[in-house]
Amino acid sequence: MSKLKNWLLRLPVLALVLAMGFSFNACTEDDTEETSHAPEYVTGTTNSGGYTELQLQHYTVNLTVLNEAGTPVSGASAEVLQGEDTALLWVELAGYYPAFEVLPLNSQTTRNSTLHLIPTGGFFQIYETDPSHIADLLGDGSVTAHCYEGTLSNILDTGMSTLGGFWSVRVTGEAAALGEAGIVNLSLFTSGINAAIFEELMFGAATIMTEDVLQYCLYTIEVDGQQWFLPWIQIGDVVQQASDYDYKFILTWGEYPTDLDSHLYTPSIDGAAYHVFYADRGNNVAPPYAWLDVDDTSSWGPEATTIEQLYPGTYTYAVYDWSGNGLLSTSGAHVEIFAGRERVGGVDVPATGGDGPRWWWTVGTVNGSSGAFTLVNTLNASGPAGAPMRREDMPLK
């Protein structure tokens, strides 16, 4: 069964990877003089030279697939789903992110394309520029839009039940304006993902909040009487906008150390100060009015700490190397900081090279009265005031 229809769940989730998109190293002819033909669907597999010929009724696609080093990739599955005016060229192989290109149809009958496969490393890729001709594909005369309203949880459920293991979210219009980032493209593997992770990914990419109600659309194309789903869900209109959080910290990191932990220390709230972390994840409707979404113990993240409502005093956000099988300075740890939907900035862990296992990274503080963030960004063997001195002093997981 075609992956364009079923999106097989076959690749392991290993990492959180931010990338500037799939590879679009295609050598195509002039995109003028568009023409229309009946929809078609063909498949092929690359040979030892990384090559396959995909023969349509009116077009021949000569495809070469290479890896990042430029070496030909054999055994890659290639598919072309042709609409009336555009065609989707899709390549997939276990261990790699899929690669694709959208081909506008014109009078040139031979298309030469070279696509590069990137090794898989996580839940998703973000490509910050809109793929060429993607709007033309989704608006193709042979494509039917199926639109609904719902939250991010509804969107994830719909995508997983309908599209399966790999698909893209394209955020446009009112939803993209929530983050003032323009069009946002997020492609993700759904094996191992849950609603909390998806919601944090979408907040980090487009500052869409869990409670926002959105219009979203799936797309099908009919070929010889059979409907095929395109691997995109497009989010557009904002039906209902949720109230903003006061602050959010989103932590991601590399493969080692496998387990980094987020820690938030609050000022006194109704007579008590709080420590929000894996053993006490907090509360959004009662003190401390802050919470941790998940405790990621197997590399990469994301792990998000949210402050629903700030109180006077100082909040301190820090990260602890729980597992100790690697150093914070070489972890690739990164924290995205948001005040409401506004991105305050991103902070990379210092690459000092002088830290040891199970050290602390104090990222910064927030003034609960003014909402101002102050960068600290230091590595130390001990944590912020009030932090446990040793891992043995922390609750077991």
pLDDT for the residue 4:
34
- Domain endpoint, select from 218, 240, 262: 240
Q: Which two tokens stand for residue 161?
A: 């039940």
Looking at residue 16, its pLDDT comes to 30
Q: Residue 39 is part of which domain span?
A: 3-240
Task: Judge if 127 and 267 occupy the same domain.
Answer: no
Residuewise pLDDT in 10s, the chain (397 residues): 232 322 222 222 222 333 323 333 333 334 444 456 789 999 999 999 999 999 999 999 999 999 999 999 999 999 999 999 999 999 999 888 889 999 998 888 999 999 999 887 666 777 778 899 999 999 999 999 999 999 999 999 999 999 988 899 999 999 999 877 789 898 887 777 889 889 988 998 899 999 999 999 999 999 988 999 999 999 999 999 998 899 999 999 998 999 999 999 999 999 999 999 999 999 999 999 999 998 989 888 889 999 999 999 999 999 999 999 999 999 999 999 999 999 999 999 999 878 999 999 999 999 999 999 999 999 999 999 889 888 889 999 9
For residue 51, what pLDDT is reported? 98
Same domain, 231 and 306: no
**Residue 137 contacts residue 104 (beta carbons within 8 Å):** no
175 and 288 in a single domain? The answer is no
Instruction: For residues 13 and 122, state if they share a domain.
Output: yes
pLDDT of residue 322: 96
Of 240, 257, 274, the last residue of a domain is 240
Alpha carbons 173 and 395: distance in angstroms, whole number: 45
Same domain, 214 and 252: no
The domain boundary residue, chosen from 240, 272, 303: 240
pLDDT at residue 18, as a whole number? 30
187 and 266 both lie in a single domain: no
Predicted pLDDT at 193: 85
Beta-carbon contacts of residue 260 (< 8 Å; ≥ 6 apart): 251, 253, 296, 301, 303, 319, 320, 321, 322, 323, 328, 331, 333
Residues 294 and 311 in one domain: yes
Q: What is the domain count for the chain? A: 2
Shared domain for 180 and 255, answered yes or no, is no
Q: Position of tokens 């609750």?
A: 395
Q: Which residue in this structure is represented by tokens 């990379």? A: 348
User: Cα separation of 260 and 279, whole Å?
Assistant: 14
* Angle (CA) 117 118 120, round 5°: 125
Say yes or no: 251 and 229 in one domain.
no
Query: How far is 65 from 99, CA to CA, in rounded Å?
Result: 9
Helix (H, G, I), strand (E, B) or coil at 252: strand
Distance, CA of 260 to CA of 241 (rounded, Å): 32
Report H helices in 104-170. 134-138, 152-162
Distance CA 133, CA 36 (A): 15
Angle value at C-alpha 368, between 207 and 290, nearest 5 degrees: 55
Task: For residue 360, give the nearest of 328, 316, 314, 330 by alpha carbon.
Answer: 328
Strand partners, 315: 366
The reply to whether 236 and 251 lie within a common domain is no
pLDDT 10s digits, 123-176: 677 777 889 999 999 999 999 999 999 999 999 999 999 998 889 999 999 999
88 and 156 in a single domain? The answer is yes
Looking at the structure, tell me whether residues 300 and 356 fall in a common domain.
yes
